[in-house]
Structure 1
Amino acid sequence: MTKVTAYLLFNGNCETAFNFYKDVFGGELHIMRYKDMPQSDQPVPDSEKEKVLHLNLDVKGEMLLMGSDCSEAFSPPVKFGDNIALTISPDSEEEARRIFNELSEGGTIQMPFEIAFWGSWYGMFTDKFGISWMVNYDIPK
């Protein structure tokens, strides 16, 4: 079954916000920082290394919130109102590709649907109605 999850974007206070959400809802936080990212052509500035690249708050399998800090090295700061994306996690690569292609038609692709460094098929876009989406398919191991 395809799951849809809210993905929240922050300008440097993602960990603080999610610690607050954890106090409210409970659950487990899992954090990856920009310094944990593989080296690329675009190095992470020292001022950005401790920012949150990705985290999730898993509340007893009942709720999953995900988020990250926008890094000035990779994206512009977020503005209130465009700091939420819907993440879709389909059950198959084929379904993920279909959803990505159909939802992104007429929109703007920020990241093409391809295998990301964490080993999943992933793509990011804004649809023709201005809604931000992320499609992520975890390749079975």
Structure 2
Amino acid sequence: MRLIPYLNFDGKCGEAFDFYAAALGGTIVARMTYGESPICDEMPADSQDRIMHCQLEAAGTTLMGADGPPPHGGSTTCINVDVDSVEDAERIFSALADGGQVQMPIEETFWAHRWGVLTDRFGKPWMVNFLKPCPE
């Protein structure tokens, strides 16, 4: 399991991650716009160039982000829990959701075997991810 900060922006994700990569000496290993995604036809025309997901690797750590709107109760930052199995994803999601509020139930998506979003009982936003391999 890895805990990964996930930053949400309002149209500046690409610019911010280019800056972070340079400042931290890292590499952007994934960047997809809404227009490049499998759900591009479902997205408004003005969102096509916005970043759906960006991932930066630097010094053995990971930073992730996207252009909003934030699905986490309005927060612009959340913690992404990256796990290695469906069972771990479902167990951890259920535990964190106890007494909290689920924004996106944990389910399969085009990028993950399981993904869900919640706010815990203390008001902190979380995502739980069991990712599928990135396409080459």
Gaps of 5+ in 2: none
Equivalence map 1:56-135=2 (5 Å): 56-60=55-59, 62-71=60-69, 82-135=75-128
Consecutive aligned runs of 4 or more in structure 1 exceeding 6 Å deviation:
none
Give the superposition deviation at 1:139: 4.9
Q: Which residue of 2 aligns with 1:37?
A: 37
For residue 4 of structure 2, give the secondary structure of its aligned residue in structure 1: strand
For residue 42 of structure 2, give the secondary structure of its aligned residue in structure 1: coil
Percent identical pairs in the alignment equals 37
Q: Is the 8 A contact 2:102 2:117 kept in 1?
A: yes
Q: Is the 8 A contact 2:104 2:117 kept in 1?
A: yes
- The TM-score with structure 1 as length reference comes to 0.84
Going from structure 1 to structure 2, the CA distance change for 1:67 and 1:106 (only over 3 Å counts) comes to same
Gaps of 5+ in 1: none
* Separation in structure 1 between the aligned mates of residue 39 and residue 23 of structure 2, nearest angstrom: 36
- The TM-score with structure 2 as length reference comes to 0.86
CA RMSD across the alignment: 2.1
Give the superposition deviation at 1:137: 0.9
